[in-house]
Amino acid sequence: MKTKTFIMFVGPSVFLMFLFIAAPLVSVFLQSFQVTQGVFEEVIETKCTPGFPAQICTEEASVRRVLDDDGNPVSQTSWVGLDTYRTVLDPDAVSAAFDEGGSGWSQLMTIDFYKALRFTLTFTLITLPLVIGTGLAIALAVNRCVESLKGPVIFVSLLPFIITPVIGALSIRWLFIGDGIMTALLENWTGQDIAMFAQGWTIELLMLFYRVWHVAPFAFVIFYAALQTVNQDTLESAIIDGASRWQRLKYVVIPHLMPLIIFVALIHLMDCYRVFEEIIGFSSQAHVISLQWLTFDYLTPDDSGNRAISRAAANSMLTMIGIVILLIPLLRRTYRDHKNSSH
């Protein structure tokens, strides 16, 4: 295919991606160094009240928003360098926390950004092995299943994956909220009064459960498809050599699945790092927040209708650093595949 034809085919797609992905990225990068504020002016008013023998006059200074000729408030954008990053990262509060007299870690966790970073990272790292393990176990189990049952089993397994994330989180939440049946069951077992939504760590447990429930089917489907292509000859020779079931799994099946395990892991890391819907579904913002939720929160108009765009931009840029680190292995893998396939 000639380059000209190629460009005609990919043109619309590339145009959309540049206009709506690349351009916004640049604009976010620039905005993170800027602050847009309303322009205010100080007005000195003389207020007089009737009095005797003369009026009593006081001069009051008040601050007012400057309006332009059409009556719209005037805003002004100024470059502030790294100031917004400083507001988000709050280095002074960090050093205060670890100085003498500061309470260290727990004080650090009162700053939104570190609170969100801590949760995002632990959440990502804990769910990863759980998702892969659960997905693999389901795939192996379904592979041994009776042929006629496979269809319905896959159907039910796909449901948690296909469901709207917010709704999925909500449906887990409704099982546990107040004296919901799962909470009642737990209370019965432990004999204690349990409130799942009163403290952070129980909410985090529910979130972990939700995420594994939601993503394990994806891992399952991919592993299951790959299990169909395991080399039967190798398996047979392993049996003849007297390999136990466990050894066959470890030395034949898992190595065969390895590229896909890495693929699932990378996709999962990428998606999990963007954790957001759980916070909405479990309404956990008072206890647990994530990096992407923090940006969302800055972008949501506050009580006076203002959006903290520049803080959102700075927070976005900081989030991106993590994404870049996560992407490096994936990019290297793709590059290697590309070089291998072109030879």
Partner 1 sequence: MSQAKVFQASTGLKVTVAVFLLFWLVVAAFPLFWVLVMSFKLPVDAFSASPLAVITGPETLAEKGGISILDMLLGAVAFYLVYQAVSHWTRGVAERVGFGFTPIGWILGSLIMGAAGLFVFVIILPIVTGAVNWAFGLIPGLSLLAQPVIGITLDHYIAVWFENEFYRNFLNSMTVTAGVVLISLTVGTLAGYGLARTPSSLAFWLLIMALIFRALPHSVLVTGYLPPFINSREILEPFLGDAAPTLYGQPLAVIVVLVSINQPFTIWMLRSFFQNIPAELDEAARVDGCGHFEAFWRVIMPVMWPGVITTGLFSFLLAYNDYLVTALLLDAQNQTMVPAITQYFNRETTTTDQVEAVAAAVSITAPLFLLVMVFQRQIVSGLTAGAVKG
- The interface with partner 1 within residues 245-264 (CB under 8 A) comprises 245, 259-260, 263-264
Q: Determine how many CB atoms are found less than 10 A away from the CB of residue 69.
A: 5
**Residue from the set 114, 119, 213, 282 that interacts with partner 1 by CB under 8 A:** 213
Per-residue tokens: 61: 């200074």
Task: CB nearer to partner 1: give 93 or 249.
Answer: 249
Please give the residues from 286 up to 325 whose contact with partner 1 meets the rule CB under 8 A. 291-292, 295-296, 299-300, 307, 309, 312-313, 316, 319-320, 323
Per-residue tokens: 46: 């003389």
CB of 41 to partner 1, least distance (A): 22
How far apart CA 68 and CA 41 sit, in angstroms, is 13
Task: CB nearer to partner 1: give 93 or 330.
Answer: 330
CB of 110 to partner 1, least distance (A): 23
Q: Which residues make Cβ contacts (< 8 Å) with residue 329, sequence separation at least 6?
A: 266
How far apart CA 313 and CA 116 sit, in angstroms, is 16
Asked whether position 226 contacts partner 1 by CB under 8 A, the answer is yes
Task: CB nearer to partner 1: give 114 or 217.
Answer: 217
CB of 71 to partner 1, least distance (A): 15
**Residue from the set 9, 40, 98, 105 that interacts with partner 1 by CB under 8 A:** 9
Nearest in space to 282 (alpha carbons), one of 218, 193, 188, 209: 209
Please give the residues from 60 up to 99 whose contact with partner 1 meets the rule CB under 8 A. none
CB 55 within 8 A of CB 49: yes
Asked whether position 270 contacts partner 1 by CB under 8 A, the answer is yes
CB 294 within 8 A of CB 116: yes
How far apart CA 58 and CA 306 sit, in angstroms, is 33
Number of residues binding to partner 1, judged by CB under 8 A: 102
Per-residue tokens: 96: 């205060």
Task: CB nearer to partner 1: give 97 or 224.
Answer: 224
Q: Nearest-5° angle of CA 295, CA 177, CA 115?
A: 30
CB of 330 to partner 1, least distance (A): 7
Torsion of CA 16, 21, 23, 27, to 10 degrees: 150
Nearest in space to 121 (alpha carbons), one of 323, 313, 316: 323
Asked whether position 144 contacts partner 1 by CB under 8 A, the answer is yes
Please give the residues from 145 up to 184 whose contact with partner 1 meets the rule CB under 8 A. 145, 151, 153-160, 162-168, 170-172, 174-175, 178-181, 184
Please give the residues from 31 up to 60 whose contact with partner 1 meets the rule CB under 8 A. 31, 36
Asked whether position 331 contacts partner 1 by CB under 8 A, the answer is yes
